[in-house]
Structure 1
Amino acid sequence: MLNTVYRLTAPRHFEVEFNEIDLFGEQVVVRPTHLSICNADQRYYQGKRAPEVLAKKLPMALIHEGIGEVVYDPKGEFQPGDAVVMVPNTPTESDDIVSENYLRSSKFRGSGFDGFMQDNVALDRDRIVRLPENIDKTVAAFTEIISVSVHALSRFDSIAHQRRESVGIWGDGNLGFITALLFKAMFPDTKLYVFGVNQDKLDDFSFVDETYLVREIPDDLSIDHAIECVGGDGSQKAIQQIIDFINPEGTISILGVSEYPIPVETRMILEKGLRMFGSSRSGRKDFVKTVELFEKNPEIVDYLSNIVGAVVEVNTIKDMTKAFELDIQKAFGKTIMVWKK
């Protein structure tokens, strides 16, 4: 089966290329329908990765957040038209200790090999998860980033001590919103505080117990544990504030991605006996748990619809460029491509 792939060959430049999909193997063929643009995609699109990284990675089809419809399943376990979420992490081995998303041998779509900007995608059957009927597909399009928060919170549950009277989340962007929403669903009895830099964004966190601008945190406030969802240049200040306000032996979960090393005050980490751990990406079990949360807590999907930003119908390469350029201009929310290719 001849397939069309839309690869980024240079910053801000997509080109059409072709490959073959084997219909006689065991993989399931999925036609993408809704794709979500991530900050990582933008770093490639804008050429914000190091030149040696771009030279190694490109040409490459972008996008690791997306859903689609089954076109063909040689085993008949999925029927044509079934709506599924596509899992971008692609392990090549298993390990009894290390999760699939941390194995150095695992591949990740849109970061080392082709992502979902294709007419059709051939996936191992454990790389797709069936979606609930009638789900908002513009929300389902970014199930991947939601599953990252689910993964991080599952790790938090296993690592953080059981005194959980109050937890703080630093970050008022998409990741902070998603993580806060899921935290309240998974830990409803814990007081949740969100710290950010934009009052308009904080106003959207109506489901948490309290919000604070980072420059107006009460001196007497304290938290048992913290989750950092800032990333970038703001990571240093966020982590420093967390260290200042967290109680002794608290746990700090790091989710924000920074391109460059940041200094951390190790003295107070030692004095307070703090734990710090990082979480990145997700695996199949996190996607399954995320879909279960969608089914059991439909209000989560309703809240998440608030961060759907631009929705762009894509029929041509010009439309792809339009979607990425619109995404650069956004202040908040997820840009969704309705993939009509």
Structure 2
Amino acid sequence: MLNTVYQLKAPRQFETVFKDIPLDDRHVLVRPTHLSICHADQRYYQGNRPEAVLRSKLPMALIHEGIGKVVYDPTGTYRIGEEVVMIPNHPVEKDDIIEENYLRSTKFCGSSKDGFMQEYVSLLPDRLVRLPEGIDKIVAAFTEIVSVSYHAISRFQKFSHSRRRTIGVWGDGNLGYITSLLLKKMLPDSKVCIFGVNANKLSDFSFADATCLVSEIPEDLLLDHAFECVGGNGSAIAINQIIDYIQPEGTISILGVSEDPAPINTRMVLEKGLHIFGSSRSGRADFEGLMELYKKNPDIPEYLENIVGTTFEVESIKDMTEAFETDIHKLIGKTVMIWKG
């Protein structure tokens, strides 16, 4: 079967290519319907990766956040027309210790293999998760990034000590919003405080116990644990602020992505006996757990509607380019393409 794939050929240059999809008895065929643009997609689109990386990756179809409808399933796992979340991780081996999203051999859509900017996507049944009924499709489009926060919090629950009275979240963007929202739902007895640089953005964190500008943190503030959701050039500043205010033997979860090394105050890490761990991407168990969390807390998707930015109906390369260019200049929120490609 001939499939239309929209690849990034070079920074800011999409092209249409045609690839054959073999119809076998193992793979499910999904037609994407809603795709969400991520910062990682933008780093490729704008050419903000090292030249050697761009040469090795491109041409490549972008997007790893998306949902679609099943159009063909020889395994009988899904109904034709059923709405599903597409999981971008594609493990080729199983390890009893290392989770699928950390195995170096695992392929990832929009990074080490073509992403979801295609007419059809061929996936194994375990790379799909059913959408609960009633979930807004625009919100569902960025399920993947929400699953990353779910994954990080699940790991935090395993790694941290049991005193979780106050948890700080650094970052007033999309990731900080998602992570703090899930923290309130998954750890309801903990006080969650958000630290950011934009007072207007912080006002959107209505579910949080407290918000604070990073320039106005009280000197006597004490946190049991913290999450860093800043990334980029602000990572080092955020991590070092956390180190200043966290209690001894606290746990710091790092989620923000930075292209450059971030210097941190290792002296105080040692003096306080801190635990620092990083989380990246997510696996099937996280998608499944998140869907159950949605069912138990239907207000979570409602809160997530607040970070929907711009939506675009996309059916041409011109439309794709407009969506990506607009996303560059957005102030807040996720850009979602209603995919007609």
Calculate the TM-score normalised by the size of structure 2: 0.99
Q: What SS does the aligned partner of 1:133 have? A: coil
Supply the distance in 2 between the matched residues of 1:186 and 1:296 (Cα, whole angstroms): 11
Cα deviation for residue 97 of structure 1 reads 0.4
**Equivalent position SS for 2:33:** strand
State the superposition RMSD in angstroms: 0.6
Q: Given residue 142 of structure 1, which amino acid in structure 2 is its aligned partner?
A: F
What is the CA deviation profile of residues 210-264 of structure 1, one whole-angstrom value per residue up to 9, with x for unaligned ones?
0000000011110000100000000111011000000001000000000000111
Which residue in the other structure is 1:171 paired with? Answer: 171
C-alpha distance after superposition, 1:129-180 (max 9, x if no partner) = 0101221000000000000000000000000000111010000000000000
Q: CA deviation at 1:330?
A: 0.4
Mapping for residues 282-301 of structure 1, pairs under 5 Å:
282-301=282-301
Deviation at 1:24, TM superposition (A): 2.3
Q: How does 1:54-73 map to 2 (within 5 A)?
A: 54-73=54-73
Structure 2 equivalent of residue 44 of structure 1: 44
* Structure 1: gaps (5+ residues): none
Q: How many residues align?
A: 341
Q: Secondary structure at the match of 2:247?
A: coil
Opposite residue 248 of structure 2, the aligned amino acid is P
2:155 maps to which residue?
155
Give the Cα separation in 1 of the matches to 2:211 and 2:196: 8
- Residue 238 of structure 2 is matched in structure 1 by 238
- Report matched runs for 1:116-127 at 5 Å: 116-127=116-127
SS of 2:18's equivalent in the other structure is: strand
Q: Residue in 2 aligned with 1:262?
A: 262
Partner residue of 1:225? 225
Moved over 2 A (4+): none
> How many Å separate the matches in 1 of 2:130 and 2:191?
33
- Answering whether residue 329 of structure 2 is matched by residue 329 of structure 1, we say yes
Residue identity in the other structure for 2:183: F
Q: What amino acid maps onto 1:335 in structure 2?
A: T
For the residue of structure 2 that corresponds to 1:318, the secondary structure is helix
The answer to whether the 8 A contact 2:28-2:125 is kept is yes
Partner residue, 2:53: 53
Q: Distance in 1 between matches of 2:144 and 2:338?
A: 16
TM-score of the aligned structures, taking structure 1 as reference length: 0.99
Q: For residues 257 and 16 of structure 1, what CA distance do their matches in structure 2 show?
A: 30
Write the letter of the residue equivalent to 2:206: S
Give the aligned partner of residue 30 of structure 1.
30
- Structure 2 residues not aligned, in runs of 5+: none
The separation in 1 between residues aligned to 2:338 and 2:121, in whole angstroms, is 16
**SS at 1:253 equivalent:** strand
Question: Equivalents in 1 of 2:106, 2:80: separation in Å?
Answer: 29
Q: Aligned residue for 1:305?
A: 305
